[in-house]
Structure formats: structure tokens, C-alpha cells
């Protein structure tokens, strides 16, 4: 266990796991640029997911559902700031502000979670993982490029989002906050009494505690600790698998009107990558090493082609994974925290795997690119 090592936050140095495995730096750089070009360029319609709209706006298309989601737009913004692509970042942010962000009512300053590519809203309600990624990407943009005129006054925009996330509905105003005030845990949606383990980003909250409004900084420090404790409850102690939705005590939430999310499936893949990135950035919780080891131990005997839906205690359903490349990517990202021999196996396997092509590519390739950034030491704090 590497508990004696200082964190990237302390040192400003980030592990390059790919280089540790002997992959040349020139090859790593070339792969990053090639993946960026494939996803954000227009050379291959079977791979890309970024689409300009007019002179200064663009969106990320969920190619499986043919809609635009706050998840995808905020992910694209994070990818852009990590890759130092300000024009792409600004185009995506303008789409979010123009078409997705509410100006009034119970969701004021929140974002409609999905819309059509032309900006027509398909739903008014927000999904909190979008808001937290928007805020963090905006803070990084402010640090990397400096603030511009609204809506490109990045840091002010981020603070406005976080202010709404904690204080919506106060003083008799309509609406609900995105974090439960009592437990300090992020909700699945503002009105829900449960959470989504893959939404928990304690490494973001540590930085919000430095950059959000002064009155809220203590809350964000407590939220980081609360999320780390929550993930220990939500992840199975033998398999490391987490459910898609879970109560505030970590137990799986019951079936919802839109499906049964008690099990390990698409949303839950992200937990592994989030845990590992928190370890890389802050190294506050040695459990994260053990958790990453047990998760990789569970998946090591299973070929990627055989990935499925699982109960959290590891029983497979007769239902293939919708996003096997995405699951492989998050398993590989766990190598940032894992210290078992399984870590190198998954990193090499990801390196040898191409981007997914076809209608389901959006989610897989988002997770693929985030894993590649993290494992190359390019997913950084700005």
C-alpha cells in the first residue's frame, strides 16, 4: 500500500501508469491526440460524439439515445480543459447556458438534464452529476485560462451553480438542494431521498471547499468526508461492486418507476474511476486501495466480451453489459489506487483496446478517454 506517498495535490506530480508499464511517452502523447481527434473531430462518423452548432456553440451527442445530456456536455468540458482546448470548452459551455440552464423557478441555475440536439428540452429536471462536473470544469478553466466576460466568467459561473446546489429552496423560495443537508450526501435528483454512488466525487468537494463561496466551504469539507464514508457502505465488502442507486446508509435503493437500479450496471461503473482519482489527488482514505484491489480481483477472470449486469454480491444476470468498453476503462482507471498485480493487466488491456464504434459509443468512449487521461497523469488539478 502506498499510504506513505504524498498526493498529487501536495506535490503537483501525477502518476503516469502507462509510462510505468514501459509505454513510451511519445506513444502516450500520440494516443491522447488520436483519441481526442476521433471523438471531437469529423473524420469518422462511427466514432465522433462532438458536433458544432452554429458559429460558437457545440454539443456532445449521446449516440445511443440521440439526445444531449448534462453528463456529456460537462464531461466534454472537463476533457477540453484537461487537453487545453479552450474553444471547444467555450462552445460546450455556451450550449449548456443557452439551452439547458434554468433562469427562474424551482430549478433556477440548475440545468435540464437532457434535450434535443437543437436545444429543445426533453425534461426540465436536473441530474446533479452534471452540475458538479460543470462547476469543477469551470473552476479549472478559470485557473488555466483566466476569466472572461459572461458567460465565460468561469469561476463566478461555478460559484453560482454550487450556491444553488446547496441553498435552493431556502427562505421560502421554490426548489430543493442537490445535497442532503443532514447527511451532506449528493442526491440522485433534488427531490429524491436517496443517492447514486457514482455521483460521489470527494476529490471535487475538497477543491470546492477552497473555491466556492466562503460560507459554504465548511460544508464541502464535510461533504468530502461524508462521501468517502458513504462509498465504503455502498461498495460490497467482497466484490467491490456498487449498486446504481443507494440509500444514504449505502443499502441499494428499491426499484423505481423507470427501472431496477439495485444492481451493478452502467452508472455504477464510474465508482471505480472516482475512487481511484480521489486516491491519486488526495490520498485521504487507505480503504480506496483495498477497494480497488478487490474490484479488479473480481473482474480479472471475466473476459470483456462476457461482462454482464451483476448483483452487488457478484451474481451475473443473463444480460450483457451495454457498455463493456466503458467498464473495462473504469477497471483500468482503478489501477491508480490498486497495488495488486491485477492493475497492470487491466491497464495493458485498455491500451490494446480501440475506441468503441457505433450507436452505443458515447458512454464507453467518455469513460475510455477519462481513463486514458488519468492513467497518463494528464487528469490534473488546475
Q: Which residues are catalytic?
A: 71, 267
Nearest to 186 by CA among 141, 223, 238: 223
Taking the C-alpha atoms of residue 157 and residue 138, their distance in angstroms, rounded to an integer, is 7
DSSP conformation class of 91: H
Give the angle 53-115-172 at the CA atoms, nearest 5°: 125
Give the angle 121-124-129 at the CA atoms, nearest 5°: 100
Taking the C-alpha atoms of residue 2 and residue 18, their distance in angstroms, rounded to an integer, is 18
**Does residue 281 contact residue 11 with C-beta atoms inside 8 Å?**
no
Nearest to 176 by CA among 161, 186, 191: 191
Total residue length of the chain: 382
Q: What is the bridge-based pairing of β-strands 308-310 and 57-60? A: unpaired
Roughly what angle, to the nearest 10 degrees, separates helices 287-299 and 342-351? Answer: 60
Placement of cell 455556451 in the chain: 94
Taking the C-alpha atoms of residue 373 and residue 350, their distance in angstroms, rounded to an integer, is 12
Total Cβ atoms within 10 A of residue 41: 12
Taking the C-alpha atoms of residue 135 and residue 140, their distance in angstroms, rounded to an integer, is 9
Total Cβ atoms within 10 A of residue 346: 26
Amino acid at each position: 500500500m502506498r499510504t506513505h506517498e504524498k498526493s498529487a495535490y501536495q506535490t503537483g506530480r501525477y502518476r503516469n501508469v502507462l509510462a510505468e508499464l514501459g509505454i513510451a511517452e511519445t506513444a502516450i502523447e500520440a494516443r491522447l491526440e488520436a483519441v481526442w481527434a476521433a471523438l471531437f473531430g469529423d473524420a469518422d462518423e462511427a466514432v465522433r460524439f462532438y458536433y458544432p452548432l452554429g458559429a460558437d456553440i457545440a454539443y456532445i451527442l449521446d449516440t445511443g439515445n440521440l439526445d444531449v445530456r448534462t453528463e456529456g456536455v460537462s464531461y466534454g468540458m472537463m476533457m477540453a480543459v484537461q487537453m487545453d482546448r479552450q474553444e471547444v470548452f467555450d462552445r460546450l459551455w455556451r450550449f449548456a447556458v443557452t439551452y439547458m440552464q434554468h433562469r427562474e423557478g424551482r430549478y433556477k441555475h440548475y440545468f435540464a438534464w437532457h434535450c434535443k440536439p437543437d436545444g429543445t428540452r426533453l425534461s426540465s429536471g436536473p441530474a446533479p452529476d452534471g452540475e458538479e462536473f460543470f462547476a469543477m470544469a469551470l473552476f479549472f478553466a478559470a485557473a488555466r485560462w483566466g476569466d472572461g466576460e459572461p458567460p465565460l466568467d468561469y469561476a463566478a459561473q461555478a460559484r453560482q451553480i454550487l450556491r444553488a446546489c446547496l441553498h435552493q429552496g431556502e427562505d421560502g423560495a421554490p426548489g430543493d438542494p442537490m445535497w442532503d443537508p443532514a447527511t451532506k450526501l449528493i442526491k440522485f435528483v433534488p427531490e429524491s431521498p436517496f443517492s447514486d454512488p457514482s455521483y460521489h466525487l470527494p476529490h471535487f468537494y475538497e477543491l470546492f471547499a477552497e473555491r466556492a463561496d466562503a460560507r459554504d466551504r465548511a460544508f464541502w469539507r464535510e461533504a468530502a468526508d461524508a462521501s468517502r464514508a458513504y462509498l465504503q457502505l455502498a461498495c460490497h465488502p467482497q466484490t467491490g461492486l456498487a449498486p446504481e442507486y443507494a440509500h444514504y446508509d449505502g443499502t441499494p435503493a428499491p426499484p423505481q418507476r423507470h427501472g431496477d437500479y439495485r444492481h451493478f450496471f452502467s452508472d455504477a461503473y464510474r465508482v471505480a474511476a472516482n475512487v481511484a482519482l480521489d486516491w491519486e489527488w488526495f490520498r485521504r482514505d487507505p480503504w480506496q486501495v483495498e477497494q480497488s484491489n478487490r474490484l479488479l480481483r473480481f473482474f480479472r477472470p471475466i473476459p470483456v466480451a462476457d461482462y454482464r449486469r451483476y448483483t452487488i454480491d457478484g451474481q451475473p444476470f443473463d444480460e450483457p453489459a451495454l457498455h463493456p468498453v466503458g467498464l473495462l476503462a473504469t477497471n483500468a482507471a482503478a489501477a491508480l489506487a490498486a497495488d495488486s498485480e491485477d492493475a497492470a493487466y487491466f491497464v495493458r488491456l485498455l491500451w490494446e483496446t480501440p475506441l468503441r464504434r457505433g450507436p452505443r459509443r458515447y458512454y464507453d468512449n467518455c469513460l475510455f478517454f477519462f481513463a486514458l487521461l488519468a492513467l497518463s497523469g494528464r487528469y490534473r488539478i488546475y
